[in-house]
Amino acid sequence: MIRSRLLHPRLLSTSPSTTSRYRLRLSTLAFLTTTSVLVSSYFLWPSKYRGSPTFNHQPLSPSYFIPVTVSENSQAGPDLAVLTLSIPPDSHPLDKHTSSLDPIWSIFIKDDDIQVERPYTPLFGIGKDGVIKLWVKRYPRGEVGRWLHSKQAGDTIEIRGPLKTFPFHQGKWDEVVMISGGTGFSPFHQLLFRQLLRGNVAASTRFTLLHASRTLAELPPLSLLQPLIDFAVAHPEHLRLALFVDGASRALAPKSIVKHLEAGRIDKSSIGHTLGIPDGAWSWSSWISNLWTSGQPKIGDSDIRKKNVLVLVCGPEPMVATIAGPYGRNYSQGKVGGVLAELGFKAGQVWKL
């Protein structure tokens, strides 16, 4: 999920030495700053693709639309649907385009009725059979979302892409934390499917997903959640998963997600608890716990904030602002603020999708 807009899309110690850690921070900050400029330039600069033409029998491209077929539209919660799109064989991306399909990327869908386009993130990328699945929310004022919900199997819509949302590089970060709300889950599912669920268990990066929905019925479909839950249970060293629902009742939740379910919203306390961030309060119990588990007291040596960590945040704009601070001018990254700033995360460690 990338936020909607009208034909104007927007789219990162002292050991072994203080110097080396400083250089690492500068390197990460430079990478994120450069990425921010490139992504912002692509999505915010006056675009030659605005009003892009439509071509048949051409491969996918960001510069024009191609027609695809809706093969299924299934309800997946209140005002939520999973749409399955089938790309024609002659439009399926060739091997030479594979690198552009590395996560995280999106496509644009055009509402032919009012000539408006919106970005959506494929949940699984593109399958070998040319299938794309989208988790789409219908908003009262969301033109394209309502239009997509009305589509039936056999209907044709137009898409263009892929468009890079965030250039993830395997092995660049020790820890990647993803915080999502609503359909902001989609880019993170794409990332986790590509990096973990396809069998890349030997990956060096550890992932943590914190996802929030307003109700149990608005959680991602169990068909999407269950593989992540199973993987997190089997490989906790590679994936941690926490689901948050306002006033959720465990008695009403599917049994498979109960262990990962929390009542309430994602806030400072829940993020700190999930990531194991110390609250700064010293106590005899915490000292004895450290002593018992390690043989000697350890103070912050496993603190995630001191690692090469990346925190990705995607969801409704008020949630992003609360968690990571508001966007800057023209939806640039802006300063790190909100809960993450209070927890001690710095520029170069946080990215707002």
Residues 6+ apart with CB under 8 A from 130: 86, 87, 88, 89, 91, 92
- Residue 2 near residue 121, CB atoms below 8 Å: yes
Q: Provide the 3-class DSSP secondary structure of residue 222.
A: helix
Distances (CA, A) of 69 to 126, 132, 270: 14, 10, 42
The conformational region for residue 125 under phi > 0 = left, psi -120 to 50 = alpha, else beta, is left
Q: Which of 94, 2, 65, 64 is nearest to 39 (CA)?
A: 2
What letter would DSSP give residue 21? H
Question: Has 206 been labeled as part of a binding site?
Answer: no
Q: Which tokens is 252 given?
A: 């009403």
Provide the strand spans (E) within the chain: 66-75, 80-86, 105-111, 116-120, 131-137, 156-164, 175-181, 206-213, 239-245, 261-263, 309-314, 350-352
Question: Has 120 been labeled as part of a binding site?
Answer: yes
Q: Provide the 3-class DSSP secondary structure of residue 19.
A: helix
Question: Has 137 been labeled as part of a binding site?
Answer: yes
Residue type (1 letter), 191: L
> Can you name the residues that pair with 242 across neighbouring β-strands?
210
Question: For the chain, where are the alpha helices, taking DSSP H only?
Answer: 18-44, 143-149, 185-192, 222-234, 268-275, 284-294, 317-324, 338-342
CA-based torsion, 251, 253, 255, 258: positive or negative: negative
Binding-site sequence positions for FAD: 118-120, 137, 144
Binding-site sequence positions: 118-120, 137, 144
